[in-house]
Chain A
Amino acid sequence: MRSDHAREPVFQLFACCLPVRGARRSVLCDVQRQSFQFIPNGLYEILTEHAGETVAEIKAAYGHEYDEEIDEYFGFLLQNEFGFWCDAPERFPPIDLTWEAPERITNAILDVDARSDHDYARILGELDDLGCQALEVRCFHGPSLAELRTILEAARYGRLRSIDLLVGFHPELTAEALARLAAEHQRISSVAVHSAPERHRPPPSSTGVTFEYRTEAVSSPSCCGKVHPGYFVVNLETFAEAQRHNTCLNRKISVDARGEIRNCPSLPRSFGNAREVSLHAALAHRDFAALWSINKDQIEVCKDCEFRYLCTDCRAYIRDGRDLYSKPSKCAYDPYTAEWRSSAERPAVLAGATKGESV
């Protein structure tokens, strides 16, 4: 029921528009539209510390020193459809950022090279049992179509929702052949061919599968872990997961090219070989999930970064191999100056490389 006392409207952010403060500037993430805008920390302060206050109250709180800037801020918010004026903000509760998943494993990486001897049926079957939804298959060599089909056949009757293929170039992997493969195996969501003779982006399939040929080689797991705006993921699932979990390793399991079960193929610790140890047994190891809960709010430098709920973390290549909470070494962003360096600040360091061990 409305109060008889009509109050001045206040600005209300849409629930899907979430401000994140960084050391030098903030971002306003629209997880519904999957985009973000940079905003001054002053505007972040208005949106958080002064939420529910009228413009007059906010201007007064700043001693009327910034009236013009404050008017500009609200004009910007309206123009970019980040919110609306309302007189009952209590009717618009914040979005629930609790992240939950019923699956024990949500995503997996399977590495393959010319010397791999994987039992694909067994690995894919075990991933299925664990409820895995998404699989990334990374072939560092150029597999033939027959080899790719062997892998994909093992997933044909499973319940994976998506398979992303990253494969080396092979003359059989023409755009037409890949399109046919994607039509045969509709769980494929993307195919990227590395080490190709020339760069090429065929049009996506009618079902939305994307294809890409790159000339760069992806010859080992060490090619992974780069942090760059092009890899930011702005959506509710990632944003919510990032609040308390690691955006790369949470609920992930990997089998490297030699069959070793790891959190990530780039991490040194193995939890056994997939030919001898089931994925379930590896997952049951007390240390397997230890990295899942390392979130960006705990990581040095990242905890002051405005991108911390958008970016995919990396715990394998970090600045200080002795400190599991140090910044990813392949991130060239400095949140204290809001500047990107042209290359990473320091050479990549493998986390725990000095004490890698098998269990």
Chain B
Amino acid sequence: MKKKMERLSDELFRPLTPAEQRRIAGAITTTTAVTAYETANPNPDFARDGDNE
């Protein structure tokens, strides 16, 4: 028998929060691999394009 099919409503399949996804859908379009910097804030807010927006 095949394994158990889990429901999509399970917390395990919750999409990442907008703050977490911001960099994913953002402008990382260079042809190089992006080096990742460790900062004090592991989840920086890239939601805004500028301080005044």
Contacts and interface: CB of A to CB of B under 8 A. Distances in A.
Tell me the dominant secondary structure on chain B's binding face. loop
A24 interface: yes
18 contacts: A36-B24, A38-B13, A40-B6, A40-B7, A40-B10, A42-B3, A63-B2, A107-B30, A109-B35, A136-B35, A166-B37, A200-B51, A216-B37, A216-B40, A230-B46, A237-B31, A252-B32, A330-B38
Contacts of B42: 226, 228, 230
Interface in A272-298: none
Given A203-B49, A226-B37, A107 B16 contact: no
Interface of A: 24-25, 33-43, 45, 61-63, 65-66, 69-70, 72-73, 76, 106-109, 133-136, 161-162, 164, 166, 189, 194, 200-204, 208, 210, 214-216, 218, 223-235, 237-238, 247-250, 252, 312, 314, 330, 338
A210 B27 contact: yes
A35 B18 CA distance: 11
A223 B36 CA distance: 8
B2 A45 contact: yes
A164 B49 CA distance: 18
Nearest to A317: B38
Contacts of A35: 21, 24-25
Interface string B1-26: 11111111010111110001111110
Contacts of A24: 12
Closest 4 CB pairs of A and B: A107-B32, A203-B50, A134-B32, A42-B5
A25 B12 contact: yes
Contacts of A41: 3, 6
A234 B12 contact: no
Contacts of A233: 24, 28, 33-34
B5 A232 contact: no
Contact of A229 (B1, B6, B7, B21): B21
A243 B39 CA distance: 29
Given A24-B12, A72-B8, A248-B33, 19 more contacts: A34-B25, A37-B13, A38-B12, A42-B4, A43-B5, A66-B2, A69-B7, A107-B32, A164-B32, A204-B49, A208-B27, A210-B27, A226-B37, A229-B21, A230-B43, A247-B33, A252-B32, A312-B33, A312-B35
Nearest to B8: A76
Nearest to B44: A230
A194 B7 CA distance: 44
Given A39-B8, A40-B6, A161-B31, A224 B25 contact: no
A63 B12 CA distance: 25
Contacts of B20: 229-230
Contacts of A228: 36, 42-43
A25 B53 CA distance: 37
Contacts of B27: 208, 210
